[in-house]
Amino acid sequence: MMQALPFSLSRLLCALSLAILIMGGLIAPGLAQQTIILVRHAEQTLTGGMMDGDPPLNEDGARRAQALASVLKDAGVRAIYVSQYARAQQTVEPLARGLGVKPEVVAKDDLSALTERLKAHDGQGAVLVVGHSDTIPALLKVWGHLQPVTIDKTEFNSLWFVVSRPDGSPFVSRLRL
């Protein structure tokens, strides 16, 4: 028998609604501001307690990927970026299929290439980035977020909403679901 995940779809929807309200107060009409949604890949299969190469999602991860698709289906996602790893691609597959958006693969550690590609979407809908426990904090730092961010190796329940601001420092809201 499978265990229930430590999140519920209703809790996720409430958190997303709160983030949209918060961001809505920051965005002035007519200004082209970019919204980036960051999420760590969902739970992956473990082999002997250690990750083995490029593990796929496990059953909990597959359920989390479906929940993510339900939550973000109306969030205005126009582009999706993932790493070359199966767990990142599988996390976003249900959403990408539902939106008809083909995820673009960018090498996991090539933060500058990802940042350059994101600049091309400025103000053109939300962009989803499926990252990893080490790349999400690094991206936030590169983008000017001053508070340190850490993600435990067992943490899969956070969404970060990053909204660009004219002064260069982004507004970042982290939701733990």
Report the amino acid identity of residue 49. Answer: G
Q: pLDDT tens for residues 109-138? A: 999 999 999 888 867 789 999 999 999 999
SS3 67: helix
Contact 26, 177 (CB under 8 A): no
Task: Using the predicted structure, report yes or no on whether residue 1 has a pLDDT greater than 80.
Answer: no
**Residue 44 per-residue DSSP state:** B
Cα–Cα distance, 6 to 37 (Å, whole number): 21
Task: Please state which of the ranges 2-16, 18-32, 48-62, 141-155 shows the lowest mean pLDDT.
Answer: 18-32
Single pTM value for the model: 0.82
Per-residue burial over 60-91, b if 16 or more Cβ lie within 10 Å, else e, is bbbbbbebbbebbeebebebbbbbebbbbbbb
Domains parsed from the chain with CATH numbers: 32-176 (3.40.50.1240)
Contact 128, 88 (CB under 8 A): no
Region 77-92: mean pLDDT is 97
Question: What's residue 64's pLDDT?
Answer: 96
Task: Using the predicted structure, report yes or no on whether residue 21 has a pLDDT greater than 50.
Answer: no
Question: What's residue 12's pLDDT?
Answer: 55
Task: Please state which of the ranges 16-25, 53-62, 147-156 shows the lowest mean pLDDT.
Answer: 16-25
